[in-house]
């Protein structure tokens, strides 16, 4: 009896050992899935760092941008970043002479929004809107000026924007001067007192207060601030669109990158096309006059 019992116990041990080996062998014989899973948990590469869209922008230049990211270029940059699964990082610099040299060309940032597509200091994307200079006047004046050739301009107090630290003239000032309209023209610097918010709005304020009868202003700026004045204002696109021999008042607006950043420019082009409805809604919300929507 004892011998028979011993043989049975040895058989059970051998059988149990076989079952253990059998089970373990299956874990490693299934196309090594379980074993690979165990090893892969330790061998997985680290996640890549989050992508950053580095934008060059002006901290005090509504309706385009400001440090609180309230401008329409800030909103459009957010659209781009979401599409790229990136976050936005800003390099802030006053958008005056030397802006591109000290930001984009210095490699402190990678993209500038709101550049004329014809600019030669950067590689530009496809335009995402086309706008124009406009005549701005109080609605209750019923001036209805639409052309630089209107003879009434010689009798009105006219405001024009002066661009640059050296007081360089914008296209409207040249168009008026070419027609002998000089003595009744007043200049308003685009930069103004940079320590105060919204320096470019001063020319629109002057029209609303009656300091001047008419202003000739870049459309996106006029469209935004006119809606915030206490009196209704009229905005009329200027004509002609190009004052011969070559003084344009209509511009295609694009984004700029360094010339060597071809891949980034191509990516932005694709996003601009894909997100066009969303970008159009942003521009409309800021009152940007659009000529490309009329074509």
We report the CATH number of the domain holding residue 239 as 3.40.190.10
- Per residue in 197-222, pLDDT (tens digit) is 888 899 999 999 999 999 999 999 99
pLDDT, average across residues 65-90: 97
Is the bond preceding residue 102 a cis peptide, omega within 30 degrees? no
Q: Residue 93: is its pLDDT beyond 80?
A: yes
Q: Residue 127: is its pLDDT beyond 60?
A: yes
pTM of the model: 0.81
Same domain, 102 and 136: no
Residue 202 is predicted with a pLDDT of 94
> Given pLDDT bands bounded at 50, 70 and 90, which one contains residue 157?
very high
Same domain, 73 and 136: no
Distance CA 78, CA 87 (A): 8
Alpha helices, DSSP H, located in the chain:
2-29, 33-43, 72-84, 99-102, 171-178, 202-209, 219-226, 262-274, 276-285
Q: Residue 31: is its pLDDT beyond 80?
A: no
Same domain, 33 and 12: yes
Same domain, 236 and 268: no
Q: Where is average pLDDT lowest: 6-10, 20-24, 53-57? A: 20-24
Using the Cα atoms of residue 173, residue 178, residue 182 and residue 185 in order, give the sign of their dihedral: negative
- Per residue in 46-76, pLDDT (tens digit) is 766 789 999 999 999 999 999 999 999 999 9
Same domain, 209 and 264: no
Same domain, 193 and 243: yes
pLDDT, average across residues 28-47: 49
Same domain, 237 and 273: no
Q: What percent of the chain has pLDDT over 90?
A: 73
86 neighbors 51 (Cβ within 8 angstroms): yes
Tell me the residue range of the domain where 181 lies. 130-248
């Amino acid at each position: 009896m004892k011998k028979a019992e011993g043989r049975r116990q040895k058989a059970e041990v051998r059988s149990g050992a076989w079952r253990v080996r059998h089970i373990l062998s299956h874990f490693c014989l299934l196309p090594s899935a379980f074993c690979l899973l165990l090893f892969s948990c330790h061998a997985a590469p680290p996640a890549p760092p989050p992508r950053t869209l580095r934008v060059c922008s002006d901290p005090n230049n509504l309706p385009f941008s400001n440090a609180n990211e309230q401008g329409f270029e800030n909103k459009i940059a957010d659209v781009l970043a979401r599409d790229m699964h990136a976050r936005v990082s800003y390099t802030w610099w006053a958008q005056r002479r030397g802006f591109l040299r000290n930001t984009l060309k210095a490699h402190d940032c990678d993209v500038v929004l709101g550049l004329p597509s014809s600019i030669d200091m950067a590689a530009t994307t496809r335009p995402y809107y086309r706008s124009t200079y406009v005549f701005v006047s109080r609605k209750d004046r019923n001036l209805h000026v639409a052309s630089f050739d209107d003879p009434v301009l010689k009798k009105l107090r006219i405001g024009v924007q002066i661009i640059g630290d050296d007081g360089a003239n914008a296209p409207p000032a040249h168009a008026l001067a070419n027609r002998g309209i000089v003595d009744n023209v007043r200049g308003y610097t685009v930069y103004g007192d940079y320590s105060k918010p919204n320096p470019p709005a001063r020319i629109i304020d002057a029209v609303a207060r009656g300091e001047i009868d008419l202003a000739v202003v870049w459309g996106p700026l006029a469209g935004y601030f006119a809606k915030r004045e206490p009196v209704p204002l009229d905005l009329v696109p200027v004509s002609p669109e190009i004052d011969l021999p070559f003084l344009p008042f209509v511009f295609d607006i694009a984004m700029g990158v360094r010339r060597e950043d071809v891949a980034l420019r191509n990516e932005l082009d694709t996003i601009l096309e894909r997100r066009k409805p969303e970008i159009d809604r942003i521009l409309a919300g800021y009152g940007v006059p659009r000529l490309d929507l009329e074509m």
